[in-house]
Amino acid sequence: MLDQVTNPAVVDVLSRGLQAANLRHQAISNNIANVNTPNFKKSDVVFESLLAKQLDLEPGKKKLSMVRTQDKHLPIGLGDSKYPSPQLEEISTTSMRTDNNNVDIDIEMANLAKNNVYYNALTRQVGSYLSDMKSVIKG
């Protein structure tokens, strides 16, 4: 358990997940604000699929495995991040209305609720991780 608790890659992945949730909230808010703007094209955030691809967790692929050969070696994951950052992309291939706007308010509101649940789950996970770290430090 100590190895899992002290792995800095966990913090990096959770941090990037929180960044993705924050960016997604901004994109959804912008989409909702422009629901009646002619020729507006909605935006979405790509992160989870990039992370799965980076970690080779796509269906049918093997999982990433790293091992430290000695406890005195530095933990895997220190230094520059190898995990992807969230990316904002405009979806311009669809059109919902005759004014070329592609924002569906019902879908955006559902995405907002989904993103809220995602963000709350990540914050609970970060809190749990920090609590575990505190327990390890106290010994």
Which tens digit of pLDDT belongs to each residue from 36-71? Answer: 999 999 999 999 888 888 877 555 555 545 556 666
* CA pseudo-torsion sign 5, 7, 8, 12: negative
What is the distance, to the nearest Å, from the Cα of residue 124 to the centroid of all Cα atoms in its chain?
A: 14
Of 118, 133, 139, give the one whose Cα is nearest residue 8: 133
Q: Cβ distance 47 to 20 under 8 Å?
A: yes
- pLDDT at residue 76, as a whole number: 53
Angle, helices 105-138 vs 8-33, to 10°: value is: 160
What single letter denotes the amino acid at residue 88? L
Structure tokens at 100: 């070329």
Of 90, 94, 93, 113, give the one whose Cα is nearest residue 27: 90
Q: pTM value?
A: 0.74
Model confidence pLDDT, tens digit, residues 89-112: 999 888 778 898 999 999 999 999
- pLDDT at residue 79, as a whole number: 47
Alpha carbons 14 and 10: distance in angstroms, whole number: 6
- pLDDT at residue 52, as a whole number: 83
